[in-house]
Amino acid sequence: MATREKTGGLIRIRRSRTRRILPAEVRVGDLMSAAAELFIAKGIEATTVNDIVERAGVGKGTFYHYFETKEDVIVALRERFSRDFTDQVAQAVASCPADDHRARFAAWLRGTVQAYIANYKLHDVVFHEFRPGNRNVKDKEIVLAQLGELLAAGAAAGAWKLSDTRAAAIVIFDGMHGMVDDAIAGEPRDAEQICRRLSELFGRMLLI
């Protein structure tokens, strides 16, 4: 917007600046996305808060309004990764009939493998480079709870035999994790082949 002012016989045009105010969730999302890109490209240690705010296009004060330290951003990224991960897997499971527990387990397995392979670079940075002191981290619990509910429902319906659904969930999740890590370290990263191998192994464990 421009205004006209007359000073000493001269007409000056003053342009006012309209500040763009973004919603809090957008600013936080921009900061987290900028941090994720930098962590993948440079690593956590080499990335500074200045790098993050510059990439996000915000001031340093905005960063410290939402996060106290760079480590807080990493924790937030881990939580967002786990939430997006479980949401994607939940959609795959929901596409199967509620009473077809074997199909739902297969969908869970395929969904987790595909989601992991698609986002392994960010996963490796925020989960492998940064290790919090608390071993019972919330992000893994979210995934284990989702799988535990699926296994418990199948056991109750007689789709498989399980005496300890949490133990089974831990073995299945960590087994999937290890197989995908092994595939990522080599080539090719064939999600379907990984799922077939895991389905055979887990099928024996569940006595399907």
DSSP string, 166-191: HHHHHHHHHHHHHHHHHHHHSS---H
Q: Is residue 123 domain-shared with residue 164, that is, in the same domain?
A: yes
33 and 98 share a domain?
A: no
The pLDDT confidence band at residue 61, using thresholds 50, 70 and 90, is: very high
* Residue 165, φ and ψ in degrees, nearest 5: -70, -35
The whole domain housing 30 covers 20-68
Domain boundary among 68, 99, 127: 68
Q: Does 135 lie in the same domain as 59?
A: no
Q: What local confidence, expressed as pLDDT, does residue 206 receive?
A: 86
Closest CA to 157 of 92, 103, 114: 103
**What does pLDDT average to over the chain?**
85
Q: What is the DSSP string of 143-172?
A: HHHHHHHHHHHHHHTTSS--S-HHHHHHHH
Q: Are 90 and 146 in contact (CB under 8 A)?
A: yes
Q: Say yes or no to pLDDT of 113 above 90.
A: yes
pLDDT over threshold 60, residue 19: no
- Asked if residue 13 has pLDDT above 60, the reply is no
- The answer to whether 88 and 50 are in contact (CB under 8 A) is no
Residue 30's pLDDT is: 92
Asked if 60 and 80 sit in the same domain, the reply is no
User: Is pLDDT above 70 for 132?
Assistant: no
The answer to whether residues 62 and 80 belong to one domain is no
Residue 6 has pLDDT above 90, yes or no: no
- Residue 98 sits in a domain whose CATH number is 1.10.357.10
